[in-house]
Amino acid sequence: MEVASKELDIYYLEGKVDPMHPELAVDPLNILRPATKLTHQLPLVSAYSSFARFGAALGFEQYRRRMDPNTNEPLFTNCTRDFIGTLDYIFYSSDSLTVESLLELLDEDSLRKDTALPSPEWSSDHIALLAEFRCKPRTRR
């Protein structure tokens, strides 16, 4: 089973890339150097990782079992015969939006009944992610 790289997650959430990351060494087009240019200042948060703040909502325990306890992200968003891992995210700007609700994640047992994705029941090799947001009121200056 292949493991998904988390470097892209770190880039989006922390705004920078580890300059010593081994994937930066393989750069045949020389577009990833210097690594110090791979930065951003956006206050991004992952919608699904914010689920933990919903606390003991209906079905919380069942939902929590579908989340990675280390990252608070879905255990997987892609499930094929050769790979299972998280490739998809919904990032949002936490200074202007709050998560109101999230689409329930599928469990691996449901997906594996047909071996993997895509399947007769699920037409994509990625599971659907959906978040509903509310705009935060702007503070007057």
Q: What is the DSSP string of 93-124?
A: ETTTEEEEEEPPPPPHHHHHTTSSSS-SS--S
Q: Which of 134, 60, 70 is nearest to 104 (CA)?
A: 60
pLDDT tens across 74-112, in order?
A: 999 998 888 888 999 999 998 999 999 899 898 888 877
pLDDT at 90: 94
Rounded to whole angstroms, how far apart are CA atoms 17 and 7? Answer: 7
pLDDT at 88: 92
pTM, two decimals, is 0.75
Q: What average pLDDT score do residues 37-54 get?
A: 81
Rounded to whole angstroms, how far apart are CA atoms 18 and 87? Answer: 19
